[in-house]
Amino acid sequence: MPLVAHSDLPSFVRLRAAGQEVLTLERARRQDIRELHVGLLNMMPDAALEATERQFMRLVGSCNRIAQIYVHPFAVDAGVRGLKAREHIDRHYESFEDVRSSGLDALIISGANPAQPEMEDEPFWEPLVEVMEWASEHVCSVVCSCLATHAYLRHFHGVARRRCLPDKRWGVYEPRNAASHPLIYDLNTRFDAPHSHVYEVTRADVEPAGVQVLSESEEAGIYLAVSADGFRFVFFQGHPEYDKVSLAKEYKREVTRFVSGERTTYPAYPERYFASAARQMLDRHRDKVMEAIARGAAPPAFPESELEPRLDNTWTDTGKAMFNNWLGLVYQLTDADRRRPLMAHLDPDDPLGLKTA
C-alpha cells in the first residue's frame, strides 16, 4: 500500500530516501487502484513537527492493502510557532476547511506537549474539539495519540487525566494484549512499546465510558484502547510511531534543561531503553557535566552521534502491524465516496459486528 507524493512535502523525499515506497502522482494516476485518504492533524511543537509527519507516514505506508494512500497533513491554531515551522505549514499543509470539504477515510491526531494543568486552557483546545466533533460524524475511524486520547475522553466523556509521576512516565514497556479484537489480530501477546507522558488515564477511568482496553502493561497502564463501538476512535497512550532515537532526543532535551537551570535535578534514564553500553557512556557524560558545573565551566556537548549506534528499536514492527490492521478495517468499511464513511448496512454502534458475532 504505497504512499502517494501528491504534494512537495519534504517528508515524501525523506521517506523515499529511507527506502519507503512512495509513488509519484503521475505514476499513481496510471494505476487502477483504490485510494485511501488519511488526514494527519499534527499538533507537535516545532522541533518535532516534521519528524512526527514521517513517523506516522511510515506506519501508514507500511499497510499491505492494495490501495494508494494520500496523507493530508493539517494543523490548528496551537499558539506561537517559529518562522521555519510556520513557513512549512503554510507551504505544505492543508487547511481544516479544505480537509473537511473533501472528506477523509481516516484521521490521525498527534499528541502535543502539555503546557497547562487543564487541557481546556491550552490554545489548541477549541480547534481540536471542532476537529474531533466533525470526525466523530464524518470519518470512518480516528487514531488519537497520547494527549489527543486524553482530550477525546475529557470532551466526550468528562474523564479527567491525572498526573502519573512527579516528572513523567517514559521508556519502553511491555504491554500484553488484554482482549480479542481485529486491531490486534495475530500480534504477539506481549511486545515492546514506548511511552512518554506526564498525564495518564487508567482502566478504571475509561471503562465507565464504554472504552475497551486492548493492550496494557503493569508499569505504564493503558497502551491501546477503542471506543465503545469498537472502532470509530482508537486510543494510543503510548507511541508506536517513535523512531529509534525519539526517546534519546527527549532525554537530551531534559539534560539540556538541567544544564540551563530549567530543572533542578539531573534526569533519570527512560526505563528499559538504554542498554548497558549506552548507560555507561551517559554515566560518564553526566559525571563530566556535574564536574563542569561545579567548576563553573561550560558543560560538554551531549554525545548524540556516539549514542545513536548503541540504541535499539524493538517496537516498530508491532506498530506497523497495528496500523496495517487498522487501515485494513478502514478499507473494508469505506467506499470511493469518502463522504459516506460507514456503509448503509452497517450498525454505527457496532461497525465491525463484534457485538453480534
DSSP annotation string for 45-100: -GGGHHHHHHHHHHHHHT--SS-EEEEEEE----S---HHHHHHHHHHPBPHHHHH
Element (H, E) at 35: strand 35-41
Torsion sign across C-alpha atoms 239, 242, 247, 253: negative
The span from the CA of 285 to the CA of 317, in Å, is 32
Catalytic residue among 63, 140, 144, 146: 146
User: Is residue 15 scored above 90 in pLDDT?
Assistant: no
The span from the CA of 51 to the CA of 142, in Å, is 20
> Letter for the amino acid at 139?
V
Predicted confidence at residue 350, as pLDDT, reads 80
Q: Is 263 exposed, middle or buried (0-12, 13-18, 19+ CB in 10 A)?
A: middle
pTM for this entry? 0.89
Helix, strand, coil fractions of the chain, as percent rounded to 5 = 40, 20, 40
User: Is residue 55 scored above 90 in pLDDT?
Assistant: yes
- Out of 39-53, 282-296, 330-344, pick the least confident: 330-344
Taking only the tens place, the pLDDT of each residue in 116-149 is 889 999 999 999 999 999 999 999 999 999 999 9
Predicted confidence at residue 3, as pLDDT, reads 84
Query: Between 266 and 32, whose confidence is greater?
Result: 266
| Cell numbers linked to 273 | 531503553
Taking only the tens place, the pLDDT of each residue in 247-260 is 999 999 999 999 99
Taking only the tens place, the pLDDT of each residue in 144-188 is 999 999 999 999 999 999 998 778 899 999 999 998 899 998 899
Mean pLDDT (whole number) for 323-334: 89
Catalytic residue among 50, 241, 250, 254: 241
Domains annotated for the chain, with CATH where assigned, are 3-242+313-333 (3.40.50.880), 246-310 (no CATH)
- The residue with cell 471542532 is 130
Active site residue 239: yes
User: Is residue 296 scored above 90 in pLDDT?
Assistant: yes
Taking only the tens place, the pLDDT of each residue in 211-231 is 999 999 999 999 999 999 999
User: Is residue 12 scored above 60 in pLDDT?
Assistant: yes
Mean pLDDT (whole number) for 18-36: 78
- Out of 27-31, 55-59, 223-227, pick the least confident: 27-31
pLDDT band at 193 (very low <50, low <70, confident <90, very high): very high
The span from the CA of 39 to the CA of 24, in Å, is 19
pLDDT band at 32 (very low <50, low <70, confident <90, very high): low
Active site residue 241: yes
Predicted confidence at residue 287, as pLDDT, reads 97
Mean pLDDT (whole number) for 70-93: 91
Q: Is 71 exposed, middle or buried (0-12, 13-18, 19+ CB in 10 A)?
A: buried
Predicted confidence at residue 343, as pLDDT, reads 47
- Out of 8-17, 270-279, 299-308, 340-349, pick the least confident: 340-349
Predicted confidence at residue 161, as pLDDT, reads 94
Predicted confidence at residue 29, as pLDDT, reads 78
Active site residue 140: no
Element (H, E) at 106: strand 106-109
